[in-house]
Amino acid sequence: MISFTRAVPGVHDPATDTWTAPSVTTITGSAIQVRGDPRRYAALGLVLTTMPTLFFAPTTYGQCPEPGDSVLWPLVNGKTYTVKDVDPIAPDGVVIAARIVVGV
């Protein structure tokens, strides 16, 4: 089991000069590390050898991490990574899995 975390800062209302409370969303599922696509890495300016690609299947149908989300990937010294790229698999328009490139 793995969890991606999305932190959303509060929103400022200039009319009242107040902020809404920040929120945190967690997207859980299962992931395995797979071979990355060298052409995709090159197109994005990413480094294949230091940025793993994960094949992720969410626990909740339709949920998917987004670039900027964070994840603790235990297979690489337990480092916290940031999602750099997402390639969703959504045959009916709803994400059932995704290939996710993460990096520090």
As a whole number of angstroms, the distance between CA 48 and CA 45 comes to: 9
pLDDT in tens, 14-70: 999 988 888 999 999 999 999 999 998 998 888 888 889 999 999 999 999 999 999
Global confidence as pTM: 0.84
Residue type, 10: G
pLDDT in tens, 56-93: 999 999 999 999 999 988 765 678 899 999 999 999 99
As a whole number of angstroms, the distance between CA 6 and CA 68 comes to: 7
Q: Which pLDDT does position 75 carry in this prediction?
A: 63
